[in-house]
A and B are shown apart, each in its own frame.
Chain A
Amino acid sequence: MVAQAQDGGGIVGSLWGRLPGIGRGGRVVVCLGVVLGTIGAPAAAATVSRPEDPTFSGKLLATGGVTQVEGAAGGGLTPWAVIGGGGTREEVGATAFFTAIRTHDYGMNAYGALLGLWDRVEVSVAQNRFDTQAIGGALGLGDGYALTDTIAGLKVRVAGDAVYDQDSWMPQVAVGAQYKSNNRASLVKALGARSDDGVDVYASATKILLAQSLLLSGTLRLTKANQTGLLGFGGADDDYHAEWGGSAALLLDRTLVAGIEYRMKPNTLARANPGLAPEDDWYDAFVAWLPGKNLAFTLAYVNLGRVVTPTRQNAIYLSLQAGF
């Protein structure tokens, strides 16, 4: 049957040729038709079998990643170059996430949603609500005083494919920006920050070494943010600082990924305000379970270092993501 279908073009072509009464002009038209047909072949064929109605969730399981605290698709702490959601290059996708981080002294909830467009562009919004709990009381702010950071993010895949470029070292590369705005302008400025809003820009490179069942990702971020923006932007200086973030993860089976992450942060606010403990880098060890295309759970143990007080904050991190 396939052979007949393949030869269809040829049969039609030769029929045309045999039709009587086609003069020179006719030949030209026929030739043009053949040429156009050849040029247009993939486009014409493209309508044959691909569904014409929109489809969703065509991505391979887990290849959209989970959602990092600021709302971008990635690991837990740092973005990856992948575009979030289940959409392939022909599809759009979306996910929503909720993350709870609990230390002995603090609690943070992060939540938001992202839209992945044609595996090319990712648009995200998120909020980080940082609850000072009893420390807020001790600092005279009141128990349970909370700072909320609202983040709008944009990420564009510029090159490569993390999953499919297995015959080269080329990673998937994306560039992104996150606009962040803090709702406690007077407090963060009183602490020494220069501003209550700021923009981070970053470039991420992510590679899945499939033969090794290994994922590696690195992100270079230019930022002025103190504690990712929860304590405003700038301090001793108002400069952009280049900070690295990285993830390494093992693909344990099709639904299970375990890994580690590291995220560097500048230390500008404590240099402006000696009353604050220095800001430390963050790192974690995580396990993500993606039981289906629409659902992901992440459990992590995170070290947030010192946050305002000299105590090191070890946190439990639990995240849920749902989408298509």
Chain B
Amino acid sequence: MAPHIQAPRRSLNALLLAVPLLVAALASPLLTGCASGPSPELYQTFGGQPGLTALVDDFMDGMMRNPDLRPYFVNANRAHIKKELVSQFCAALGGPCAYKGMDMKMAHARYGIGDREFNALVEELQQAMDRRHIPYAAQNRFLAMMAPFRDDMVHPAPPPRARPPLTLSPDAVAVPETVPGKP
């Protein structure tokens, strides 16, 4: 019954397949400026420190308008989160910063964040970057560095030192937007 399997014989065809794949793989760095990972030039594409501060402000405003995300942030110290986000983004992009905030798993594991919420946040970030006219290729270089965090936030294994679960729903009390104030 075991079927006799024939390997592809046509090496010419294999070549035909390999060539366009290779061409595309080689062409794409040309289109995207050749680099991946952090670099001072990428940091400048995001407008340096003023650019990042404006981006994160706009990003947080977008999240507060997003019904999937608002419950997570309505009661949080948004001014503090924004400050940490700016230094984290700055460090990731290759700017002169060091991120000194909480470990990502520690910060997020207790919130029961799902894929949907994570993706909603990514989309808010993309829209905020669009509004700041950051080129799509640079956005993707940045998002490629953020993407692996998903496993620390969505359905994570219990972190080594878990903070206790929330006893209060994060949206139980709506803090007026004006209360935490601008940083």
Q: Report if A311 contacts B (CB, 8 A).
A: no
Tally chain B residues at the interface, Cβ within 8 Å.
69
Q: Report if A42 contacts B (CB, 8 A).
A: yes
Residue in A58, A211, A264 whose CB lies within 8 Å of B36? A211
- Which residues of B lie under 8 Å from residue A166 when comparing CB positions? 143-145, 147-148
- Which residues of B lie under 8 Å from residue A159 when comparing CB positions? none
Do A42 and B110 have beta carbons less than 8 Å apart? yes
Do B20 and A213 have beta carbons less than 8 Å apart? no
Indicate whether A264 sits within 8 Å of B5 (C-beta atoms), given known contacts A45-B166, A88-B115: no
By beta carbon, the residue of chain B nearest A217 is: B21
State A167–B36 Cα separation when bound (angstroms).
11
Q: Report if A139 contacts B (CB, 8 A).
A: no
Indicate whether A5 sits within 8 Å of B13 (C-beta atoms), given known contacts A212-B36, A213-B32, A248-B20: no
Do A246 and B112 have beta carbons less than 8 Å apart? no
- The SS class assigned to the A binding surface is mixed
Do A48 and B114 have beta carbons less than 8 Å apart? no
Indicate whether A1 sits within 8 Å of B164 (C-beta atoms), given known contacts A164-B148, A211-B141, A239-B5: no
Residues 161-183 (chain B) with a chain A CB within 8 angstroms: 162-171, 173, 175
Q: Give the interface size bracket for A toward B.
A: 35 or more
Kindly provide the distance from the CB of B51 to the nearest chain A CB, expressed in whole angstroms: 20
- Which residues of A lie under 8 Å from residue B143 when comparing CB positions? 166, 210
Residue in A46, A59, A222, A281 whose CB lies within 8 Å of B112? A46
By beta carbon, the residue of chain B nearest A214 is: B28
- Which residues of A lie under 8 Å from residue B114 when comparing CB positions? 50, 58, 88-90
Q: Report if B134 contacts A (CB, 8 A).
A: no
- Which residues of B lie under 8 Å from residue A211 when comparing CB positions? 32, 36-37, 140-141, 144-145
Q: Report if A55 contacts B (CB, 8 A).
A: yes
By beta carbon, the residue of chain A nearest B163 is: A6
Sampled A-B contacts (27; CB under 8 Å): A1-B75, A1-B77, A2-B75, A37-B165, A42-B156, A42-B162, A42-B165, A49-B71, A49-B111, A49-B169, A88-B114, A88-B116, A89-B114, A90-B115, A119-B115, A164-B147, A164-B150, A165-B148, A166-B144, A209-B28, A212-B29, A213-B136, A213-B137, A222-B3, A244-B8, A244-B17, A283-B16
Closest 6 CB pairs between A and B? Answer: A58-B116, A9-B164, A211-B36, A88-B115, A46-B112, A8-B167
B interface residues (Cβ-Cβ under 8 A, vs A): 3-8, 10, 13-14, 16-17, 20-21, 24-25, 27-29, 31-32, 36-37, 68, 71-72, 75-77, 109-117, 119-120, 122-123, 126, 136-137, 140-141, 143-145, 147-148, 150-151, 154-156, 158, 162-171, 173, 175
